[in-house]
Every structure is written in C-alpha cells, then in structure tokens.
Structure 1
C-alpha cells in the first residue's frame, strides 16, 4: 500500500510547493483537476441518463398496461418490460457508470491516503486553522455545494427534490464534519465540479419541461 500511495504523496507535496507551500490549495487543485478530466465522460453519461429517463417516462403507460396484464406473474412482467425497453433502445446504462467508478476508485484511494499522510504536518488554509482537524464551516460549505448540485440536476423530478436532496446533504455534512479538513477540502473541490456538471447538464437538455417532471 505504501508503494501505491507514495507517488500520490510526492505529487501532492510538489504541487503544494509550487503553490507557495499551501497544502490546502494543492488538495483543492487536485480534486478539481481530477473531476474536470473526467467531466466530459460523466457529463455525457448524465445526459444519456436524462434522455433514458424521458424515454422511460414516455413508456410508462405501456409498462402500466403490462403490469396489469401480468399482475399475477411478476417474472412474466419483468421479461415483458425488459423486451419493451429493448425494443425502444433503452438500456440500463450501467457500463459507463462502472467505467467511471473503475477510474475514480484507485485515484480516490491514492489521493485520500496521500492527503491523510500529508495534512498531519500541514498548517492553515483560509479560515481553517489546522488541516488535520475537522472544520464545521467547511462541512457547511460542502453541504451547500451538495444541495446546489442536486437542485440544479434536471434528472430529478421537482416533486421529489425536497424529499431526496436532504439525505445526501446531511450525509455530506456529517462526513466532512468528522474528517480532517484536508480530506474535506478534496470533497469540496469535487463537489464544486458536481455543481458545474449539473449546471451544464441543465443547459444541455434545456429547461423546457424540467419543472414538470
């Protein structure tokens, strides 16, 4: 594990040196850079998911009819629904999501471990006195970014946003509040790109009909 983390730690230290010795700024820069590199792929997958959602919505009356027809045979309904979706070119879309996870997982593990090692001796950043300790205001900032990303996301029906958006907001707040601020900064940088992605997706698909979903 040490040999895997070492290059990430060295890269973080080098970037911090180039940024005037600021580990906090280096962490944010790495988080934003990683997400921006993946943004074209994640944005395309999000757009495909939105269009898949619209096609599923258009098929809902047919799916309801199939459910009524096969009310006593759930397996038959599942097969009929799958055939109907295939007929209309609707796929699960899991392949792209798995690809993004496969790319992000090792990067995230390496960077998180490197940050955990580096911030032990790191100093302050902005209002944060010590990057090795949790910070309440940073947790609030990450929660606000999470809320903004969910609010801007056109793929979530308007009537469900209030109910569903509070859980990830609360989880992100509690997680960051109990993490070292250095790790929280990585989360904040990544969340800021989530907001950008949601805004770009909203612009791509247009606002027509979004609020009526």
Structure 2
C-alpha cells in the first residue's frame, strides 16, 4: 500500500514536470503548494483554536496562580482544581484539531519526501541549483528566512517570548535543508510559504475577534 502511494506521487510529479516544461523543481513546489493549500482551512482552524485557548489561559493566569499556591502541598488536588476551572471556562486540552491536522499531514509529507528521494536522479537543475539531488546553501538560507518570517508573523508568539529557544526551529530547518537534496528543500520552501500565508490570515482573523 505504501509503495503504491509513493509510486503514485512519483508519477504525479512526472506529470506535473511534463506540464511545466520538464522542470521537476517547479513540479515539487507546485505539489507542496497544492497539498498545503488544500490543508489550509484545517491548519488555519487549528491555529485559531490554539490562539483562542492561549488567550483564555492568559485571562485565567491570576486564578491559576492562586490555585497553585492553595494546593502547593497537594499536586492531585491542584490538578483536579485546574481541570475544574478549565471546564468552567470551556477550555479544552487543545489536542483535538491539532492532532487531526498532524495525522493528515504526516503521512502525506512522508510520502512526498519518499517520492522526491526516489525520483531525484532524474530531476536535473532548477534556477541557480545545478543538481536537485545535492544540497544547496542558498536554498537552505531561503527556507530559514521563510521560517523566520512565519515565526515573526505568528500572533501566538508575543514579543517578550521571542527568545533564543524560539529561533531554534529556524536554525534546525537551515541545517536540515543544507544537508539534504535540494529537491526535498524545495518542498520545504513551498510548504513554508503557505505557513507564512497561514500566519498572515491568522493575524487578520484574531484582529477581528472581540478583545
């Protein structure tokens, strides 16, 4: 089943490349954009729910602090009191929509990665990249810049929370793309551009919500 899925994506990439003047680079980016845009309503909804949960938790911070002090010597009672407060204010665990999104994205991304790796020998060049089967420094920098833009546009990350720890995913994405084939890096590039779009849309949505 998995082999058939991957082979189907390989065939799809071939058809896309044939329709894009033989460019596998454009085919990979087009596939990344198509997949992420198809999932955008789901991922945007999950992100909005996460932002709402974060805002509700922020309003409950004084009450949560009082509960922590009141039940300092009884962790079980503290946990029960927190859950009761969450239920009272309609705050869920936040795993539902996020988990569903991950379950949909994970096999799709894994299949596309496998398909790109399988077809890399026939991918050739793209723009400044001489061989899509080899890593490319400038592509890695481009992916990292997109990740930085997505992080800065994310309304769930307040200014005061933008510590070195939050920059770590940007650095990790740079080193990962720098050490994998450029064909895979192009998928990250296309996917990252939709993440930037998602965070822009999320910022617009949260601005319209009542304070």
TM range (shorter): over 0.9
Aligned partner of 2:54 in structure 1 is 53
Higher mean displacement: 102-111 or 21-30: 102-111
Asked whether the equivalents of residues 147 and 165 of structure 1 are also in contact (C-alpha less than 8 Å), the reply is: no
Residues 1:54 and 1:164: Cα distance change in structure 2 (over 3 Å) = same
Aligned partner of 2:44 in structure 1 is 43
Provide Cα deviations, 1:157-206, integer angstroms capped at 9, x if missing partner.
Answer: 21111433310110000000001000000011000100011111111112
SS in structure 2 opposite 1:91? Answer: coil
Scaled by the length of structure 2, what TM-score is found?
0.95
Q: Distance in 1 between matches of 2:116 and 2:201?
A: 29
Q: Distance in 1 between matches of 2:132 and 2:88?
A: 54
Aligned partner of 1:118 in structure 2 is 119
Q: Distance in 2 between matches of 1:66 and 1:2?
A: 53
Asked whether the equivalents of residues 46 and 101 of structure 2 are also in contact (C-alpha less than 8 Å), the reply is: no
Provide Cα deviations, 1:95-127, integer angstroms capped at 9, x if missing partner.
Answer: 111111111122111111111111222111011
SS in structure 2 opposite 1:77? Answer: helix
- Could you tell me how far 1:135 is from its partner in structure 2? 0.2
Aligned partner of 2:178 in structure 1 is 177
SS in structure 1 opposite 2:162? Answer: helix
Aligned length: 210
Q: Distance in 2 between matches of 1:40 and 1:64?
A: 35
- Could you tell me how far 1:207 is from its partner in structure 2? 8.9
Q: Which structure 2 residues correspond to residues 13-52 of structure 1 after superposition, within 5 A?
A: 13-52=14-53
Q: Stretches of 4+ moved more than 4 A in 1? A: none
Q: Distance in 2 between matches of 1:166 and 1:50?
A: 20
Q: Which structure 2 residues correspond to residues 3-152 of structure 1 after superposition, within 5 A?
A: 3-152=4-153
Provide Cα deviations, 1:17-60, integer angstroms capped at 9, x if missing partner.
Answer: 01110000000000011000111111111111111111100001
SS in structure 1 opposite 2:119? Answer: helix
Unpaired runs of at least 5, structure 1: none
Aligned partner of 2:168 in structure 1 is 167
- Could you tell me how far 1:2 is from its partner in structure 2? 2.8
Provide Cα deviations, 1:123-161, integer angstroms capped at 9, x if missing partner.
Answer: 110111100000000000000000000000000121111
Residues 1:170 and 1:207: Cα distance change in structure 2 (over 3 Å) = farther
